[in-house]
Amino acid sequence: ELAVLKDLILSRVASELNENLLRERTAANRNRAREEEMEREEEEEEEREEEEMLAKTKRMFVPLSGLPGELPTIKRQIRYHQCYFNPISCFRRK
């Protein structure tokens, strides 16, 4: 009877240890997955920021002649600038 009781207790302890190890593994896997997801999000955010900076620098160095679609806008900006600093030039007829 004592040997049976001893075997029963040992099997119970072994099963509890096995369950604890399984829980720890799943928790570690969850943590690892969370960390990987956070790293991926940070990398994507950095890439977005780099793209925004690149777009901003491209916009800064657009020549005054501009692209064909932007030409009326640039002419309008120049006209506004001229009218603001020299209002008489706005009333001239061409």
What does the pLDDT look like over 41-64, one tens digit per residue? 999 999 999 999 988 877 776 555
CA distance 75 to 60: 17
Cα separations in angstroms, 70 against 51, 55, 58, 79: 21, 16, 14, 14
For the question of whether the overall pTM of this predicted structure is more than 0.85, the answer is: no
Whole-number CA gyration radius for the chain: 36
* Grouped pLDDT means (10 residues each) for the chain, 94 residues: 90 94 93 95 95 82 57 70 76 60
Cα separations in angstroms, 66 against 43, 63, 82: 33, 5, 18
pLDDT value of position 77: 73
Inter-residue contact 22 to 15 (CB < 8 Å): no
